[in-house]
Every structure is written in structure tokens, then in C-alpha cells.
Structure 1
């Protein structure tokens, strides 16, 4: 864990090209009005963009990351946003974090490869809790944003297959442009911790 912490601390403090967006991932903002309320967990929170957004929407948020530098930046931003009292910042390698069973109404994971941890992450969902997961995809097309090594990207349908024990509310794989026109290969999954052949489905904003 120490090596990972040092590596990420250095990246956040010295890599000028490593500039994370300030806004939450688009799917979270698009769906927030249809999500269950209560407690939220942001896995590998980085500078806290999802955690701060959830806190601004009234959630009590646990936000986990290995990097002290990232969490310090996230906490400062939360204070600036006036939501710091709603967020608990937890310094931990996600692999060492003790996920509380059935504890969270919403869990977000963005751009962190955690397929091996998904059983624990899903176990932490409360009944009818919702997981929103977005990550880089491998692609044969030229891509501007994301890891240069495919080891850190998901293959087609990797995320979908890992979450088939949830009710899949949405799953997409696509090339997306950011505000600067740069290309990014992205997969997004929204899954609910519910079972049964007949269910109700929230209507998300288009």
C-alpha cells in the first residue's frame, strides 16, 4: 500500500497533465433524482468530484482513496463547496478497505479498475441500492484519454458480466468526446441490488 500511496501522491502533486474534471461523472448527475437517498460510498474518490456532488444532494458520504494528496485536495474543495460536514474522507487502499455489508444506498466507482473487488462492493449495497460504475475501455480506435496500457482498461462486457447478479438498469460502451474534443473509450454501468422477474424501473433524465 505504501508504494501505491507514494506513487499516487507524487502523481497528484507533480504531474501537471494529470488534471481530473471537477464535475461528477455524467451518469451520476443524470440519474441523481431517481436514486435512493441516504448513505453513499465513493470508491477511489481521487479529488472527490463524485463525493462532493453526492454530498451537495444531501447524501452522507464515505469517500475512500489511497492518496493523501488527493484527499487533501478533495477536502479543501468540499470546504469551498460547503459540504465538508457530509463527507468522511478515508485514507485507505481500496483493497484493504473493510466494506460494510448492506450499508450504502448509492456506490460510485469511476476510472478505477476494481473487477476483483466487485463482490465486496456489491455486498456493501443496501437492498435496492444502486451502483454506478464508469471506466476506460480497450478500443481499436485511436483514443486521446486514459491509460496507455490496456492492462488498466476493461475488455468489452467485462463490467457487465461482473454485475449480472444486479438488476442492470443501464449498460453502455462507447467513444465519448470531452469538452476539449478529446476521445475517450468508456463503459458505464448502472445496477440495482434487487431481484425478481417483475420490478419497477426509475426514469432517468435524458
Structure 2
């Protein structure tokens, strides 16, 4: 499956086909890793229906929420209005692989579970590091390769799975890697069975 199949058309159809795709709760690794950070400007890549962006905005962050799907962004904006944080979030429909933030820089960039090949992710990491303010944080979370051995139904595409240590090695000189680990959590597979999966978590400070 090529990356173009995880493009705008794929995501728009996925969101349109269901009333709600995600739980409405922020990603647990974002909560764990950003909960103690002082608020500033944040970029939420792959914002989806806005749970992470709303959580950040509720903690005082000014958020740029980036996603390919117009439907997802509309739901995110509605979620933000209900939560009373709409004025703190800018919703941007764009592909992060080609998006240019211009002169904007961010105190936190969060990218949770991007559907990219490792080669694309490595290139993106190189770009993202230039968008972080001095002293700022880059948080990257994706599915660990050991999930392929579970019943979670991950696509059998090893080129889209990398270890946290590998991703951390892509950071340029001058960055401090604060976390690089496979973190277990409990989930439910498509058949309703409990299963332990692993999130590859990288948190680094410029």
C-alpha cells in the first residue's frame, strides 16, 4: 500500500463513513509527556477529530491543528466550541509532508500515529526539527513493530514500523533525547479481545 492510499481521499472517506472515528479522549502518551510542559504554541499533526488539540488548548496552549480531512477538522472545531476552547485553536487542512509553516515556530510539536513509510517519517523528522523553538519539545508516537505479532490487525507493512530508538537516531546534533522507548498499553482488538500493544514514544528537546 503506497502513501498515496493514506492520503486525503482515504481519510476523508474514513471520517465520512462513520459518525465518530476516535474516542474523543486525548492520546495517552501526549497526556503523559506534555502534561507538565508550560503552555506556549503547539502544532498537532494529524489532529483528526481534535481531542489532542482540545486537551492542549484546555491547558492554555495556542494550537495549530493540522489534518488532511475537512470532515475531521469540522468535527474538531465543533468539539472545541463545545469545550470552550475554540478561540485557542487554528484548524488547517494540509498535508504535513508539503505544508510550510512560514515564520511560525512551536514550543511543542506532537505527531501521533502518522501513517508514513519510515523513509517519509525520517524526512519529516528532519523538517520538524527546524520548526521547534529553542528549548521546545518534539513528541513522536507511533505503533511499535511488535504490534505486527498481535491480533490488533495492523497492516503487514514493516516499512511503516520503526523503533523509538531508530527514530531518535534521526534527530540532528544539538537535540536532547529525553524519552525513547516502547511503552505497553492495553487495547481491544477487532474481535473484542484484550491485547497488549506497544507505542514507540520519542520525546526530545531542542
Q: Secondary structure at the match of 1:182?
A: strand
Structure 1 residue 20, shift from structure 2 partner: 2.1
- Structure 2 vs 1, CA of residues 137 and 15 (structure 1 numbering), >3 Å: closer, same or farther? farther
- Structure 2 vs 1, CA of residues 156 and 30 (structure 1 numbering), >3 Å: closer, same or farther? closer
> Any unmatched runs of 5+ in structure 2?
none
For 1:145 and 1:48, the matched residues in 2 are separated by 24
Partner of 1:177: 186
Partner of 1:25: 27
Structure 1 residue 36, shift from structure 2 partner: 3.4
- Structure 2 vs 1, CA of residues 33 and 11 (structure 1 numbering), >3 Å: closer, same or farther? closer
TM-score (norm 2): 0.82
In the alignment, is residue 8 of structure 1 matched against residue 11 of structure 2? yes
Structure 1 residue 101, shift from structure 2 partner: 5.5
In the alignment, is residue 141 of structure 1 matched against residue 157 of structure 2? no
Structure 1 residue 136, shift from structure 2 partner: 0.8
Q: Secondary structure at the match of 1:35?
A: coil
- Structure 2 vs 1, CA of residues 45 and 76 (structure 1 numbering), >3 Å: closer, same or farther? same
Partner of 1:128: 135
Partner of 1:154: 162
TM-score (norm 1): 0.82
Q: Secondary structure at the match of 1:93?
A: coil
Range with bigger deviation, 120-129 or 165-174: 165-174
Q: Secondary structure at the match of 1:96?
A: coil
4+ runs deviating over 4 angstroms = none
Q: Secondary structure at the match of 1:98?
A: coil
For 1:77 and 1:148, the matched residues in 2 are separated by 33
Q: 1:85-135: CA deviations, max 9, x gaps?
A: 100000011112103457101110000033321111111000100111110
For 1:148 and 1:2, the matched residues in 2 are separated by 17
Structure 1 residue 143, shift from structure 2 partner: 4.2
Structure 1 residue 38, shift from structure 2 partner: 1.2
Partner of 1:64: 66
Structure 1 residue 138, shift from structure 2 partner: 1.2
Is contact 2:164-2:181 (8 Å) kept? no
Structure 1 residue 184, shift from structure 2 partner: 2.3
